[in-house]
Amino acid sequence: MDILITGGEGQLGKNLKKKLSECHSVHSLGKGELDITNKEQADFVISNIKPHIIIHAAAFTAVDKCETEMKKAYEVNSIGTGYIAQAGKKVNAKIFYISTDYVFEGTKRFPYCEKDNPIPISVYGMSKWLGEKLVLTYSDATVIRTSWLYGHYGKNFVKTMLDLGNRNKIIKVVNDQTGSPTYVNDLTDTIIQLLDKKSGIYHVSNSGSCTWYEFAKAIFEKAGYDPKRIFPVSTQEYGAHAKRPCYSVLDNQSLLKEGIKPLRNWNEALAEFIRKETKS
């Protein structure tokens, strides 16, 4: 099977290429090979490859920068996604769009399910939600919402904390935003299981939940650093530019309907990640 991955240089794109290449013909393209905001290029590349499946992982994910670079956020996350979906439809490709928990406003106190109405509170969240709508309009498409992603490639929160662990500094981390950290390896395995399932919207994140502060403490504890160096602060005190949902835990139960086991607890996944990371 021919599979095209957009955002091939990202942490998810690289991981998908590594796993899928074991059994499939994979075309993993970074921005230099496929600028998704260029409609003509998207049409040309996709019409030449004629993939059976497109995993659209390319995105502008810098949440705070999306507020100040709004045009770029919508060009990449919304309009570019529409171009990929339109081009994919022309070759009858099935499209998997990687989305985010940030499409929700975060006022619930129990996990968001796929039927819940998205109400984004940031430019990033809104641009990704519009991307979802465009994909679902144009194509045989599956939207996969995930959260707090980290992996062995590129930059992410866990790697930042591990780097800070080597420095003798006090660290302040937000303690009033709750979500589910998700290990890229586990997300990748679930995406692969979804490739031959029915189209629709799926929530895919590691089970359980924590605040960013609790997550940071767990990282330090598992890596052998002193968690007492981490101090909780409020979102307001931290002063991030973009609004984040206070609660964005995702309900993964729809995976069960397709015979897919929900992902393991985030603590277990984090322990494995740190074991692998410290060995490399």
CA atoms of 133 and 125, how far apart (whole Å): 13
Mean pLDDT, range 72-80, rounded to an integer: 98
Mean pLDDT, range 99-110, rounded to an integer: 96
Mean pLDDT, range 124-135, rounded to an integer: 98
- Sequence length of the chain is 280
List the structure tokens of 74.
């919508």
| Predicted local confidence at residue 278, as pLDDT | 81
Tens of pLDDT along 217-274?
999 999 999 999 999 999 999 988 999 999 999 999 899 999 999 999 999 999 999 9
How much of the chain exceeds pLDDT 90, in percent?
Answer: 93
Tens of pLDDT along 6-57?
999 999 999 999 999 999 999 999 999 999 999 999 999 999 999 999 999 9
Secondary structure (H, E, C), 163-218: HHHCCCCCEEEECCCEECCEEHHHHHHHHHHHCCCCCEEEECCCECCEEHHHHHHH
Catalytic residue among 124, 202, 225, 247: 124
How much of the chain exceeds pLDDT 70, in percent?
Answer: 100
Tens of pLDDT along 265-275?
999 999 999 99
Domains of the chain: 2-155+181-207+249-263 (3.40.50.720)
**pLDDT-based confidence at residue 280 (cuts at 50, 70, 90):** low
Instruction: Say whether 183 is catalytic.
Output: no
| Predicted local confidence at residue 139, as pLDDT | 76
**pLDDT-based confidence at residue 138 (cuts at 50, 70, 90):** confident
Helical axes 11-20 vs 184-194, angle rounded to 10°: 50
**pLDDT-based confidence at residue 156 (cuts at 50, 70, 90):** very high
List the structure tokens of 264.
């393991």
| Predicted local confidence at residue 20, as pLDDT | 97
List the structure tokens of 204.
């895919």
The predicted model scores a pTM of: 0.96
| Predicted local confidence at residue 43, as pLDDT | 98
Q: What's the mean pLDDT when you consider all of the chain?
A: 96
Asked if the model's pLDDT at residue 99 lies above 70, the reply is: yes
Strands 140-146, 200-203: pairing is: parallel
Nearest to 95 by CA among 187, 6, 221, 214: 6
Asked if the model's pLDDT at residue 146 lies above 90, the reply is: yes
List the structure tokens of 132.
């979802």
